[in-house]
Amino acid sequence: MIDKIVELLNNKNLAILGFGREGKATYNFIRSHVGNQEITIIDKNDVSDDELLVNDTNVKVISGEDYLNNLEIYDLVIKTPGISLKDIDSNKVNITSEMELLLEVNKERIIGVTGTKGKSTTSSLIANILKENGVKTIFAGNIGIPVFLMLDDAEDDTMFVLEMSSHQLEFLKFSPHIGVVLNLFEDHLDHAGSVEHYHNIKMNMFRYQDESDYMIYCQDNDNLRKKVENSNFVGQKCIIDINGCNALTYLLDDYVYYDKKAAFKKDIKRKLLGLYNLKNIMVAYTVSKILGLNDEKTLKAISEFEPLKYRLELVGEVNNVKYYVDTLATIPAATRESIEALKNVNTLIFGGMDRGISYEGFAEYLESTDIEHFICMPTTGTKIGKEISEERTYFVETLEEAVDLAKKITREGTICLLSPAAASYEHFKNYADKGDKFKEYVLK
């Protein structure tokens, strides 16, 4: 596999676009396996004094405001996910990525998972199921692990489970053997430019499959169902549905069915709460059946799987109030799912960076719940809170204020939930930073 990737890179005029963690992994792979051919590093910031590069005489660094100029002169531009090319004509540039290079040489052993929400949980669960079944498995991608960091650990029979964001899917010209799309909501408009383009990017999961490949998708999500129905994808459709029986894997009464046979009870012992997580479980179970894995081991892995950090994670109990952190809920639909999963939320802390996504109907939904207290934070929470009953809303400027207030007003025996329904970048580094601060304030 590595030899095949080397063939694709050898004697090429190569550029690495972006020199963060993945860019450095690409650089190290090239130097370890391809050789000392010249590489151009392209990054908005000047990285020429990076310790990896200072003694490399065959590297050229391009930086500054015009760093994206002249990308068309390279045989291959190995792009990292975080860089947007929406303002340049990418059709003139031969763009690839670590993920695409792996797909090009090894797609038959790759399971790809995407969706606006749920992809981290579902891909992690799939990886755990494979490992419980004794399958050699590498889990990488958007979860924070560059593909090229893991290649030296791969053997011929290794399966790759790849969490794939829209950034990683955008320029792909190859699709995985088993592709999963969980849902499509409005998100990442700052990068994609429009909802339509964002949803089209996600469809690269299926677009380049052939008849021997599998496309797993949840048809109860209208946006996703319509996208698939209006496309000429040729992969084998494996439909998931929690609302009807016209699917490969579906929920009926108290059981989940696979291929019209009862597979396991809806209330299977599990730590992943809520109906939306049951759907994620149904997707992972479907992957296990396609691979012919052992049911007993698969259901054991499902029962023992721990929720990811920052996604409905129990922080602790203070004065008989349970505090949950859910900073991975960056859109209204995710917050709504979390409220319905917990059922006993008395105080909701929400709000964050305004990225221009629609919050239509969200205030009405919150108003319709039994939640007594809404603590609204800038910027989106402040706007939405003005549409909710005054007697239920509180406005604060900081997360520490929000937690202090929650400790005073939340009824004993109930739950305080931090679920922003927005991104965290406005006042925090990311969702993890916001989640860690919440934990600190709750437990201090």
Binning pLDDT at 50, 70 and 90, where does residue 118 land?
very high
Q: How many residues are recorded in the chain?
A: 444
User: What are the backbone angles phi and psi of residue 313, rounded to the nearest 5°?
Assistant: -90, 130
Residue 187 has pLDDT above 80, yes or no: no
- CB contact at 8 A, 109 and 131: no
Cα distances from 114 to residues 132, 162, 283, 437, 443, in angstroms, run 22, 9, 12, 28, 34
Residue 234 has pLDDT above 70, yes or no: yes
Give the mean pLDDT of 352-371. 94
CB environment 235-269: b (16+ within 10 A), e (fewer): bbebbbbbeeeebbbbbeeeebbbeeeebbeeebe
Give the mean pLDDT of 43-59. 95
d(CA 373, CA 394): 7
d(CA 221, CA 203): 14
The residues, any chain, with a CB within 8 Å of residue 91's CB and separated by 6 or more, are none
pLDDT for res 426: 85
pLDDT tens digits, one per residue of 23-46: 999 999 999 999 999 999 999 999
pLDDT for res 346: 98
pLDDT tens digits, one per residue of 278-316: 999 999 999 999 999 999 999 999 999 999 999 999 999
Q: Is 349 exposed, middle or buried (0-12, 13-18, 19+ CB in 10 A)?
A: buried
pLDDT tens digits, one per residue of 357-366: 889 999 999 9
Binning pLDDT at 50, 70 and 90, where does residue 87 land?
confident
Binning pLDDT at 50, 70 and 90, where does residue 356 land?
confident
- CB contact at 8 A, 338 and 326: yes
d(CA 219, CA 226): 9
d(CA 126, CA 124): 5
Q: Name the amino acid, one letter, at 288.
A: S
Mean of the per-residue pLDDT values of the chain: 95
Residue 133 has pLDDT above 70, yes or no: yes
Whole-structure pTM value: 0.92
Percent of the chain with pLDDT over 70: 98
Measured at the alpha carbon of residue 245, what is the angle toward residues 239 and 250, in degrees to the nearest 5?
A: 55
Closest by alpha carbon to 115, among 180, 208, 207, 189? 180
Binning pLDDT at 50, 70 and 90, where does residue 355 land?
confident
User: From the CB of residue 74, how many other CB atoms can be counted at a distance below 10 Å?
Assistant: 19
pLDDT for res 86: 82
d(CA 51, CA 49): 6
d(CA 184, CA 181): 8
Give the mean pLDDT of 116-140. 97
